[in-house]
Structure 1
């Protein structure tokens, strides 16, 4: 009996220390990487938006949607500033990531996210923007185009998943999305995993290229390790296959300019599995293959991504100022 009480006391102490360390880690991350833009309220939900570029009638609106584990800083590192000379660029944190509030406790579907971000864009005066989505954000952009075609003028997909696939969910996402184990494991990750561990993982995401030396510090690895972010990210990833399976039969309804940019060396979202079939499923879609490029073309092949945006804008009839 005495031993059991000692063990219980140790468990309680460990849990208390873990929660304290988790809260401290989160506080430090949010203090070191605060919101870059403004916080909108859209139907009662807080949405973080960064707006860059000229506020002119002839400057096309361009929305950028980040991928899994990301936030606005993935785009504000280099792509958004490069575009902001000619576009009014709007970068959103997806629900539950960065500084945007979760929609619900189940992760929010790509359709729900597209609906929220579409309304946020209209709140900022972007009635029919060009929409670019990278990786998971590309699935959100596809849901936007399928379900709200009147609320965008063109679509740019960068390393985007679009087709059902066969590979099983990784053990990490199975664990962190689990209804019982996830809430137990996630505070341990937040409390005890160092930001440097996340920074080291960036090499695998960028491979075979490498991130800029200042990228990890800019994007804020600590934001990714917050408990709510880890849980939301895990649930969104775990639900993605079923959501894309439901969305895929409707791609033929997309009747607007679509530009797809995809690296031939992308091992995260395979070109042949996703981008190649999509080009055949959407009338007029154009695929740009980037030889030897991995999963992060908007960093390592930025000029090609910008060229795809310009083509989508031109095809949509958006005015351009050189």
Structure 2
């Protein structure tokens, strides 16, 4: 399931393909970013296999999802594109860039997940749902009511310390992830992330596309000092843009900075650090849900499995 926005006669940017993160669907990037790029670029927003209204098919690995996205680009005659990835979508994008370098015009990572973290821990319900039979029963019976009871608080922590946009949960169709099939797909994806990152990250140096990484220093979902710093270190020439007091959602809180990053990897002389300062000025006083959603800390390296 996808939304394809063809290029207009005045398009000045290469095609842009958007890859959403865990627990999301194509609307999560389309709603804030499409209006800013309309008429400037051909755009492809897609529900990753198993999410939103896409069926899972044989796409249980990150590599398979990357290949399926490339096949969709073939169908739509998109030869080469800038890939914009949020959160878990960052890991899939590293697979895409390695498996399809000829299709990769540039990379923009937003609060990405990409590298192994000490301990490799994820939420208990991901592990439970990924277990055969028991996980199926959980996703079919308890996941929806339990998830709906927690969805407001969980969303607040995704955005914190920034404010959740009015109507975000409904407008972005976030409850779609609680469909039993989507819930299981999400769990299978997250459960394999650590092993993927351990095996794939030593090869990120093979990625040669122009790259920008945008992260907030108040991200409460992923360890930005591991993932974002790691991408800057491992991808030659990558630019890391730190934004003070930004949480996990640059696509919604700093869409102008995201567009600037797209322009930068397309070759425009954009000062992303100056743009980041502008964003910081807008959100300097944000402190939403700080008490409810504490900053995450990198776990002790001794917890890492051998």
**TM-score interval, normalised by the smaller of the two chains:** 0.7 to 0.9
Report the secondary structure of 1:205's partner residue.
helix
Residue number in structure 2 paired with 1:19: none
Residue number in structure 2 paired with 1:72: 26
Cα shift at 1:85: 3.1
2:99 is equivalent to residue 147 of structure 1: yes
The farther-off stretch of 247-256 and 217-226 is: 217-226
Report the secondary structure of 2:261's partner residue.
helix
Instruction: Name the CA shift for 1:88/1:206 in 2 (closer, same or farther; >3 Å).
Output: same
Structure-1 separation of matches of 2:144 and 2:259: 39
Cα shift at 1:189: 2.7
2:126 is equivalent to residue 173 of structure 1: yes
Residue number in structure 1 paired with 2:260: 307
Report the secondary structure of 1:94's partner residue.
coil
Larger radius of gyration: 1
Deviations 1:255-304 (A, max 9, x none): 11011111111121122111112211111111111111011011011111
CA contact (8 A) 2:19 2:84 kept: yes
Structure-2 separation of matches of 1:315 and 1:284: 15
Structure-2 separation of matches of 1:256 and 1:222: 35
Report the secondary structure of 1:78's partner residue.
helix
Structure 2 unaligned residues grouped into runs of 5+: 270-306
CA contact (8 A) 1:195 1:221 kept: no
The one of 195, 200, 208 aligned to 1:242: 195
Residue number in structure 1 paired with 2:285: none
The one of 101, 116, 119 aligned to 2:68: 116
The one of 112, 125, 140 aligned to 2:77: 125
Structure-1 separation of matches of 2:31 and 2:12: 25
CA contact (8 A) 1:66 1:134 kept: yes
The one of 162, 169, 174 aligned to 2:114: 162
Cα shift at 1:76: 2.1
The count of corresponding residues between Structure 1 and Structure 2 is 267
Deviations 1:37-89 (A, max 9, x none): xxxxxxxxxxx111225334754200000000100110122112212231111
Two-structure CA RMSD over aligned residues (Å): 1.9
2:15 is equivalent to residue 61 of structure 1: yes
Structure 1 unaligned residues grouped into runs of 5+: 1-47, 317-322
TM normalised by structure 2 equals: 0.82
